[in-house]
Chain A
Amino acid sequence: MNNKIKHHLTDDLLMAYAAGSLPEAFDLMVATHLSLCDHCRAQAESFDAVGGCVLQDQDTSDSMGDGALAATMALIAQGAPVAKPVRPGCSVLPAPLQDYVGGDVNDIRWRRIGMGVKQAILPTTRDATARLLFIPAGAAVPDHSHNGVELTMVLQGAFSDEVDHFIRGDVEIADEDLHHMPTADITEDCICLAVTDAPLKFNKLVPRLLQPFLQI
């Protein structure tokens, strides 16, 4: 467990994750961060507890139909659904990400997006996008800004931008006002999970023209 994380998730995100109202890509970001961050995991469990209180306080005048218990016992008798195998987290990808990649870091199907930077879009619902980014050691992601919100979490290596230095587990939360050019540390290739609820806007002509084909 990484205790050096200093860029955490916000209450808004943790509460929405507990309430179950985030797009799938954002759920994936939160689940991945919680896998690495005890601090936010404890917060998220507290928000689950708020949900437990809301459930307890539901009025019960809307009772269950006749035979509901018997119907449920019949469901139980059909047996438990087959549990999917639990993947042990690997050194780079925590378990929730392995589920979306279908393996570990060697199974990621990268596509080049220029200047040595590669990405892999993960299969989530289309209301937001999750992708893995590979930034070669010392390289930069083209200067870009965002229409909506972009969360970027480091999985391997580290990067710096105008805001700060980010290491494994750190999440950078960028909104429309932030134009930034994340640059990977020279010591190691950087792999990040990035989620966004709107397409990115690149500030150089060529990346912008390419954008529709790249799904970002």
Chain B
Amino acid sequence: MFTEIDTVTMDEPAANGPALKPWRAKKRIRGKPVNKADGSCDTRAEWVSHIRRIRDAQDQAAFAELFQHFAPRIKAFLIKSGSDVTLAEECAQEVMATLWHKAHLFDPTRATVATWVFTIARNKRIDVLRKQRRPEPENLGWGPEAEPGQDDIVALQQETAQLRNAMAALPDAQRQLIEKAYFGDLSHREIASQTGLPLGTIKSRIRLALDRLRHAMN
């Protein structure tokens, strides 16, 4: 249940390493102009308009398409997180219902739809499988905003696509450990017993993987 806190690195505050700046720090402020790397539009940008159609018009056709894409992925994710098939199916339905109800809260300048769906699925897992509350950070006090800028949305889409490519390019051993960590409820120690790897190797592989991702993003 308990993810082991890595005491070895606890004394290294995140601000000290030069490689530790936030990957997206350059566009924290909404409305600032963003340089487009290229004009291509990621296909996943479509999902943003699907969420808007749900928010603005309770569009069931848009929802059905989102459901077809995401529900099976949520189900697979929950099964890998330790849920049985029946519960995973139920939870996937509840996650998709939450997506409908919270469509007005989705901010496409801070997360892609896939990232947002992941956070809802993760919170569902914490609630149902771990029976635990999930404290979330305070809402940013930016006040009511006009419709977010298309440039910011596109920039975030591109960066996330870049991150996904970087993850695909990781050596298998590193990528698998990152995935296992995200299936949750798996401490480094449990990953060690599953994979037969020593704890130190797991920690250094995860760190190497993060270094590679950062390098690819900078």
- Mark A residues whose CB is within 8 Å of B: 6-16, 18-24, 26-28, 30-32, 34-35, 38-46, 48-60, 62-65, 68-69, 71-73, 75-76, 80-81, 86, 89, 94-96, 99-100, 124-125, 127-128, 148-149, 173-176, 197
CB of A111 to closest CB in B, whole Å:
22
Q: How far is the CA of A62 from the CA of B93 in the complex (A)?
A: 14
A68 touches B15 (CB 8 A): no
B184 touches A8 (CB 8 A): no
Total residue contacts A-B, CB cutoff 8 A: 235
- Can you list 18 contacts pairing A with B, beta carbon distance less than 8 Å? A21-B186, A24-B132, A27-B135, A40-B14, A45-B110, A50-B213, A53-B114, A53-B167, A54-B179, A55-B74, A56-B164, A58-B72, A62-B72, A96-B137, A148-B7, A173-B13, A175-B11, A197-B2
Inside 8 A of B80's CB, which chain A residues have their CB? Answer: 58
**Could you say which of B33-41, B96-104, B144-152, B193-201 contacts chain A?**
B96-104
A59-B187 contact, Cβ under 8 Å, with A51-B119, A71-B93: no
B67 touches A72 (CB 8 A): yes
Inside 8 A of B24's CB, which chain A residues have their CB? Answer: 42, 45-46
B135 touches A50 (CB 8 A): no
Q: How far is the CA of A8 from the CA of B3 in the complex (A)?
A: 19
Inside 8 A of B114's CB, which chain A residues have their CB? Answer: 52-53, 55-56
B161-180 contacts to A, CB under 8 A, are: 163-164, 167-168, 178-179
CB of A168 to closest CB in B, whole Å:
14
Inside 8 A of A11's CB, which chain B residues have their CB? Answer: 9, 14, 20, 207, 210
Inside 8 A of B184's CB, which chain A residues have their CB? Answer: 19-21
CB of A69 to closest CB in B, whole Å:
5
Q: How far is the CA of A71 from the CA of B90 in the complex (A)?
A: 9
CB of B4 to closest CB in A, whole Å:
9
Inside 8 A of A10's CB, which chain B residues have their CB? Answer: 6, 9-10, 12-14
Q: Which residue of B is nearest A81, CB measured?
A: B101
Q: Which of B5, B11, B111 contacts A48, CB < 8 Å?
A: B111
The 4 closest A-B pairs by CB, nearest first: A52-B115, A42-B22, A34-B137, A35-B138
Q: Which of B67, B102, B122, B130 contacts A51, CB < 8 Å?
A: B122
A35-B77 contact, Cβ under 8 Å, with A12-B9, A52-B111: no
